[in-house]
Amino acid sequence: MADGRRKTPKSKYTADRNIPGAYAGETVTRRRFMTGTAHAAGAIATSAIVLPALGFAVGPLFKKKQVRWEAVGPEADFNEASYVPKVFTDTPGIGEAGKSTVYVRRHNLAIDGPMKDQYDQYVAISTRCTHVGCPVRYAEAAQRFICPCHSSVFDFVGKRLSGPAVRPLDRFYTRVVNGVVEVGPRYSVNSELHRFSPRYPGEPLDGIGQYLYPSRPSMRKL
């Protein structure tokens, strides 16, 4: 008997299903319809508050950082054999916190190989260590960049020699305008010094690293 009942398909009309107060031709009871309407209205009202607030909070993730170039000195200031430290404003409008040091030298064909493009006439190395972002210092005598926090050591072109850092030091695009060297946006490099869009410190770029730590819409390479 139970089997027989299961085989009969249920009618889609509430009147056929013996629901009290059902109207002929009605497929959803009014109570169920009103409950659904109230839930939908609640969901819409909640989203109307939550979605704009959430979008407001995560908005900066999708806003591209403005490309800005800043002069760091005339061409005569720099040479091929050693770095000259220059303080420049990485992020304007926040005072001292927006300033950063950059090590600049002229492109050296013997060390750096042929120039990649017009942004490669000068090499500008970021002082941000690629371990967790402490500021590295260039030791002239050793021709090494050394991080004070966890002793990462980088060679003359910024490649990692030892320590916990995961990739070579970041660089900045450079250009020459009217004999003045300008420093532009940051880019990251892998161990073969191929350019990648800027990554946070601690994110390797060799092998699977470049996919595990994807490029961000807020900062791309030029």
Least distance in angstroms from the C-beta of 153 to another protein: 18
Stretch that binds another protein, among 20-28, 152-160, 175-183, 206-214 (CB under 8 A): 206-214
Q: For the chain, how big is the Rg over CA atoms in Å?
A: 31
Least distance in angstroms from the C-beta of 92 to another protein: 8
Alpha-helix runs per DSSP H in the chain: 2-7, 30-58, 109-112, 209-212
Q: If binding is defined by CB under 8 A, does position 37 make contact with another protein?
A: no
Q: If phi over 0 gives left and psi between -120 and 50 gives alpha, with beta otherwise, what is residue 220? A: beta
Q: Which is nearer to another protein, 57 or 76 (CB)?
A: 57
CA atoms 76, 78, 84, 86: torsion sign: positive
Q: If binding is defined by CB under 8 A, does position 53 make contact with another protein?
A: no
Q: If binding is defined by CB under 8 A, does position 203 make contact with another protein?
A: yes
Least distance in angstroms from the C-beta of 102 to another protein: 14
Q: Is 124 helix (H, G, I), strand (E, B) or coil?
A: strand
Give me the residue label for tokens 């002069």. 71
Q: If binding is defined by CB under 8 A, does position 149 make contact with another protein?
A: yes
Q: Which is nearer to another protein, 72 or 147 (CB)?
A: 147
d(CA 222, CA 208) in angstroms, rounded, equals 23
d(CA 185, CA 199) in angstroms, rounded, equals 12
d(CA 169, CA 190) in angstroms, rounded, equals 9
| Among the listed residues 132, 153, 176, 193, the single contact to another protein using CB under 8 A | 132
Give me the residue label for tokens 């402490």. 134
Q: If binding is defined by CB under 8 A, does position 175 make contact with another protein?
A: no
Q: If binding is defined by CB under 8 A, does position 146 make contact with another protein?
A: no
Is-contact 138 155, C-beta < 8 A? no
56-115 residues near another protein, rule: CB under 8 A: 57-58, 60-61, 63, 65, 90-91, 93-95, 97-98
Least distance in angstroms from the C-beta of 43 to another protein: 22
Which stretches of the chain bind another protein, using CB under 8 A?
57-58, 60-61, 63, 65, 90-91, 93-95, 97-98, 132-134, 149, 198-203, 212-214, 216, 218-219
